[in-house]
């Protein structure tokens, strides 16, 4: 059985009802459904950093979007190793966003601190099982400049909305 790590933006976009990102939303919904149907394990950290972020961005008990249902399924199956695997990641520097498992690499020094937990979980899973699960990502362009360096550390990122990530950014009003 394969394991995956799901970035929160995949879940949020899967729940999106706005048609601005319809293609991306459809891809995220399909990928989440694939995880559920094919029984891929979802890897999270043992201190609920990832799961807490999921909960802060969904409504698993009241809404019925596929992202909400995905989070509810995880919450109901935390003890089921066929659905969810928890790994221990070790905080460093006392700030809650740096982890010993995150590569000590100057090329990654500007990687978004809020997303370091996903990398740490991937590498902790590798430490524990010998396998590095891919990180599923929807539209966070901040990752793009680090893709090669992450790959050098054995971390793969599956860009679900690749076309959206490659489009030029739209100008913002008032700037």
Q: What is the pLDDT of residues 124-146, one digit of tens each?
A: 999 999 999 999 999 889 999 99
Chain-wide mean pLDDT for the chain?
91
The total of other beta-carbon atoms located within 10 Å of residue 16's CB is 17
Section 76-92 average pLDDT: 95
Class of domain 3-166: alpha beta
CA atoms within 13 A on the CB side of 160: 30
Domain spans in the chain, listed from the N-terminal domain onward:
3-166
Q: pTM for the whole thing?
A: 0.91
Backbone phi and psi for residue 130, each to the nearest 5 degrees, phi listed first: 85, 0
């Amino acid at each position: 059985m394969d394991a995956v790590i799901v970035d929160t933006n995949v879940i949020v976009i899967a729940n999106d009802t706005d048609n601005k990102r319809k293609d991306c939303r459809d891809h995220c919904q399909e990928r989440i459904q694939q995880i559920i149907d094919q029984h891929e394990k979802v890897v999270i950290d043992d201190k609920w950093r990832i799961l807490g972020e999921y909960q802060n961005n969904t409504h698993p008990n009241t809404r019925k979007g596929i992202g909400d249902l995905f989070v509810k399924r995880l919450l109901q199956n935390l003890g089921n190793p066929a659905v969810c695997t928890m790994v221990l990641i070790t905080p460093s520097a006392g700030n809650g966003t740096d982890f010993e498992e995150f590569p000590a690499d100057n090329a990654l020094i500007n990687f978004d601190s809020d997303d370091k937990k996903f990398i740490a979980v991937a590498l902790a899973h590798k430490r524990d099982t010998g396998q590095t699960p891919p990180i599923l990502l929807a539209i966070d362009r901040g990752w793009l400049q680090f893709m090669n360096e992450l790959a050098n550390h054995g971390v793969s990122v599956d860009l679900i909305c690749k076309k959206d990530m490659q489009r030029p950014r739209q100008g913002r009003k008032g700037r």
